[in-house]
C-alpha cells in the first residue's frame, strides 16, 4: 500500500463471513468518511486472508494503515461486575479473577479487558460498575496476525456491540436503545444506556430445514361407498423469508425478556438495525409482535462524506468505531505485548523530542558565547593598537575596561557550560513518569539564575468535569513533590474551560508550575 495520508485512519469490521472497511478523518464529528468498501472473507489461514485483505484495500484505494477493528469471533462474552474503584492493570486483574470463576477455560488462555460504565454505593462504600469483555486469547492473536499480514497496525480491537453502543443518539441518552446487527447466519443484539453497553447476546439464524415430501400412496382400486370424509386442508407452508423472520423475532423476544429480568424491568424504546438490511417480513413481524419500529440508524447522522444514507446502516460498526475513537480506559482486546510496545514507543519518541530541543538550545548558547569571545579579542586588539598611537587614550582605555568585563562574563558563562549536565536525564524521567494520561505539557522553560536554575512548566489537564481535571493536576503535583530532582515547586492555575464540541465532552485546565533545580542536580553548574 502507498504511504498513509496524514490524519486518516481505518475502521474495520471483521466477521467470519465478511469484511467491511471505512477510511475516515479522526477527531471529526460528524465523522468525515473518505472511502468505503466490503468483501466476503475468503477461506483459509490468517496469512492467506491477510494477503487477500491487503490486495482488497490496495485495489480500492485505501492508504491509511492504523486501524480501529470491530471483531465478531466464535465467542466474545460481555459481563458486568461490581468492583472497587480502580483503573489500569489493577482493574484488569480484578476482572480476571471474576471471569475465572465463571469460565471453564483456564484464565491464562483468556484475553480479558473492560471499561467503567457506572458507579454504585453499597453500604456507604463507593463501587464501580465495569463491563468485562473476554474471549480466548488464541483468537485475538490470530486476528492480530491477520491484520499485520495485511499491512495494518491495529490501535484498538473491540466487539461489535461495543462499537454500536457508541452511536447512542445524544438526544435520547436517557432512554435504553437496542442495536441489532444482522449477518448471514447470525445476529447480535446489544442494549445501550446512554452510550454504555449494558447487555449483549448473539444467536444463530440459519435457514429452516424443509421436510422431504412423502411419496404418493399406491392406488388399491378401493370401491367408493359414498362415505367419503373431507380431509382438512394442510396448512400453507411458510416461505424461507417468513420462517427466518419467525426465528429472528423468537430469539429477539427471548433476548429482551432476559434483559428485562436481569435489569429489573428495563425495556428498549428504539431499535436500530445495522449490517444486512431487514426483510419486509422481519420488519412487519417485529412491529406486530414487539410493538417496535425499526428507527433510522444513528450512523446516518454521525457520518458525512462518501457514505450515503442508504448504506450508512450497513457500515454501522466501522462508523461506530470511528465515533468512539481512542480514549484512555476503553475496553481494548489488543494483545498485552503489542499494547506495551506501543506505549514504550510513544514514551521514547516524546523523550527524544524533548532531549533534542534542549541539546539544540545549549548548542545555540555555546555558539553565541564563542562568537562573543572572538569579537572581544578583535576589539581588544584594535584598542591596544589605538593606545599605542596615543590618540584618544582615555576613551580607548574605558572601552577596553568595558570589553574586559564583558569578556569575563562570557568566560564565566563558557566555564559554566563546559561542566557536564548530568542531571537532565533524572529531571526528564521524573517529569515523564509522573504525568497521567490526561495531562499534556505545552512548554518547559529552564533559565539560569545566579548559581541555580529556575524552570517553568506549562501544561493542560482534561477531565469529565472541573473537579476531575483538578484531580489529575493534583496527582501530577504530588508525584513531582516526591522527587528529589525538583525543589520549591509552586502551582498556579491559569484557566478552566469546557472542551470544544469537536474535542468531546469534558473540561480542560491550563496550569503553570514553577520550580528550582538543586545545584547538585545540574551537574556542577557554577
Q: Does 445 lie in the same domain as 411?
A: no
Average pLDDT over residues 369-374: 80
What is the per-residue pLDDT across 470-523, written as a single tens digit (0 to 9) for each?
Answer: 888 888 888 887 777 777 788 888 888 888 888 888 888 898 888 887 665 444
Q: Is the confidence at residue 400, as pLDDT, over 50?
A: yes
Q: Is the confidence at residue 264, as pLDDT, over 50?
A: yes
37 located within any domain: no
pLDDT of residue 143: 93
Q: Does 433 lie in the same domain as 496?
A: yes
505 vs 180 pLDDT, higher one: 180
Q: Does 429 lie in the same domain as 408?
A: no
User: Which of 44-48, 167-171, 237-241 has the least mean pLDDT?
Assistant: 237-241
327 located within any domain: no
301 vs 388 pLDDT, higher one: 301
Q: Does 438 lie in the same domain as 385?
A: no
78 vs 412 pLDDT, higher one: 78
- Phi then psi dihedrals of residue 219, to 5 deg: -90, 110
Q: Does 465 lie in the same domain as 522?
A: yes
Q: Which of 386, 418, 450 is the last residue of a domain?
A: 418
The top-scoring range by mean pLDDT among 409-413, 450-454, 506-510 is 506-510
Q: Is the confidence at residue 421, as pLDDT, over 60?
A: no
CA separation, residue 63 to residues 18, 25, 321 (Å) = 20, 12, 18
Q: Does 379 lie in the same domain as 439?
A: no
Number of domain units in the chain: 2
Locate the DSSP E strands across 84-137. 110-122, 125-136
CA separation, residue 321 to residues 77, 281, 325, 370, 421 (Å) = 19, 30, 6, 56, 47
Q: Does 481 lie in the same domain as 434?
A: yes
For the beta carbon of residue 457, count every other beta carbon within 10 angstroms: 21
Give the helix/strand (H/E) hosting 233: none
Note down the domain range covering 406. Answer: 336-418
The CA distance from 339 to 223, in Å, is 84
pLDDT of residue 210: 57
317: three-class secondary structure by DSSP: helix
Assessment of whether the complete model's pTM goes beyond 0.75:
no
CA separation, residue 410 to residues 26, 158, 365, 367, 404 (Å) = 51, 60, 11, 12, 10
Q: Which of 418, 441, 463 is the last residue of a domain?
A: 418
The CA distance from 520 to 526, in Å, is 10
Average pLDDT over residues 178-197: 93
The CA distance from 162 to 77, in Å, is 11
Q: Does 393 lie in the same domain as 341?
A: yes
Per-residue confidence band for 110, with pLDDT thresholds at 50, 70 and 90: very high
What is the per-residue pLDDT across 149-160, written as a single tens digit (0 to 9) for each?
Answer: 999 999 999 999
351 vs 148 pLDDT, higher one: 148
Instruction: Sort residue 468 into left (φ over 0), alpha (ψ -120 to 50) or beta.
Output: alpha
What is the per-residue pLDDT across 199-224, written as a single tens digit (0 to 9) for each?
Answer: 999 998 876 655 555 566 676 666 65
Q: Which of 418, 441, 461 is the last residue of a domain?
A: 418
Mean pLDDT computed over every residue of the chain:
83
The rounded percent of the chain whose pLDDT value lies above 90 is: 42
43 vs 217 pLDDT, higher one: 43
Q: Does 411 lie in the same domain as 348?
A: yes
Q: Using alpha carbons only, what angle is made at residue 328 by residues 460 and 444, rounded to the nearest 5 degrees? A: 25
Per-residue confidence band for 40, with pLDDT thresholds at 50, 70 and 90: very high
Average pLDDT over residues 336-350: 63
Amino acid at each position: 500500500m502507498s504511504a498513509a495520508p496524514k490524519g486518516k485512519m481505518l475502521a474495520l469490521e471483521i466477521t467470519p463471513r465478511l469484511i467491511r472497511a471505512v477510511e475516515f478523518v479522526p477527531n471529526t464529528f460528524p465523522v468525515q468518511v473518505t472511502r468505503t468498501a466490503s468483501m466476503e472473507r475468503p477461506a483459509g489461514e490468517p496469512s492467506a486472508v491477510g494477503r487477500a485483505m491487503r490486495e482488497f484495500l490496495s485495489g480500492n484505494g485505501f492508504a491509511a494503515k492504523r486501524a480501529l477493528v470491530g471483531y465478531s469471533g466464535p465467542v466474545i462474552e460481555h459481563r458486568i461486575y461490581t468492583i472497587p474503584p480502580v483503573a489500569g492493570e489493577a482493574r484488569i486483574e480484578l476482572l480476571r479473577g471474576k471471569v475465572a470463576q465463571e469460565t471453564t477455560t483456564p484464565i491464562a488462555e483468556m484475553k480479558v479487558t473492560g471499561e467503567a460504565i457506572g458507579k454504585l454505593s453499597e453500604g456507604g462504600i463507593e463501587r464501580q460498575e465495569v463491563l468485562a469483555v473476554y474471549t480466548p486469547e488464541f483468537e485475538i492473536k490470530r486476528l492480530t496476525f491477520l491484520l499485520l499480514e495485511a499491512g495494518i497496525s491495529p490501535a484498538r480491537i473491540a466487539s461489535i456491540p461495543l462499537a454500536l453502543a457508541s452511536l447512542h443518539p445524544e438526544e435520547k441518552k436517557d432512554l435504553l436503545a437496542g442495536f441489532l446487527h444482522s449477518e448471514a447466519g447470525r445476529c447480535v443484539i446489544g442494549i445501550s444506556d446512554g452510550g454504555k453497553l449494558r447487555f449483549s447476546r448473539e444467536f444463530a439464524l440459519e435457514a429452516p430445514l424443509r421436510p422431504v415430501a412423502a411419496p404418493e400412496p399406491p392406488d388399491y382400486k378401493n370401491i367408493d361407498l359414498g362415505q367419503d370424509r373431507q380431509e382438512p386442508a394442510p396448512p400453507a407452508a411458510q416461505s424461507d423469508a417468513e420462517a427466518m423472520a419467525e426465528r429472528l423475532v423468537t430469539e429477539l423476544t427471548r433476548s429482551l425478556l432476559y434483559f428485562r429480568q436481569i435489569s429489573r424491568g428495563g425495556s428498549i424504546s428504539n431499535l436500530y438495525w445495522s449490517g444486512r438490511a431487514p426483510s419486509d417480513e422481519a420488519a412487519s413481524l417485529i412491529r406486530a409482535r414487539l410493538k417496535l419500529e425499526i428507527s433510522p440508524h444513528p450512523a446516518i447522522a454521525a457520518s458525512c462524506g462518501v457514505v450515503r444514507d442508504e448504506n450508512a446502516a450497513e457500515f454501522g460498526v466501522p462508523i461506530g468505531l470511528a465515533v468512539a475513537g481512542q480514549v484512555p480506559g476503553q475496553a481494548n482486546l489488543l494483545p498485552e505485548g503489542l499494547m506495551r510496545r506501543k506505549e514504550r514507543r510513544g514514551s521514547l519518541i516524546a523523550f527524544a523530542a524533548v532531549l533534542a530541543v534542549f541539546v539544540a538550545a545549549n548548542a545555540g548558547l555555546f555558539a553565541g558565547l564563542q562568537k562573543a569571545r572572538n569579537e572581544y579579542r578583535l576589539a581588544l586588539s584594535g584598542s591596544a593598537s589605538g593606545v599605542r598611537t596615543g590618540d584618544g587614550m582615555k576613551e580607548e582605555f574605558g572601552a577596553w575596561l568595558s570589553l574586559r568585563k564583558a569578556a569575563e562574563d562570557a568566560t564565566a558563562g563558557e566555564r559554566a557550560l563546559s561542566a557536564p549536565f548530568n542531571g537532565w536525564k533524572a529531571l526528564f524521567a521524573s517529569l515523564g513518569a509522573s504525568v497521567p494520561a490526561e495531562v499534556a505539557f505545552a512548554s518547559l522553560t529552564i533559565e539560569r539564575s545566579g548559581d541555580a536554575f529556575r524552570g517553568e512548566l506549562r501544561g493542560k489537564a482534561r477531565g469529565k468535569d472541573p473537579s476531575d481535571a483538578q484531580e489529575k493536576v493534583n496527582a501530577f503535583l504530588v508525584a513531582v513533590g516526591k522527587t528529589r530532582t525538583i525543589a520549591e515547586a509552586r502551582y498556579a492555575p491559569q484557566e478552566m474551560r469546557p472542551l470544544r464540541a469537536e474535542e468531546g465532552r469534558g473540561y480542560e485546565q491550563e496550569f503553570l508550575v514553577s520550580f528550582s533545580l538543586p545545584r547538585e542536580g545540574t551537574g556542577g553548574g557554577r
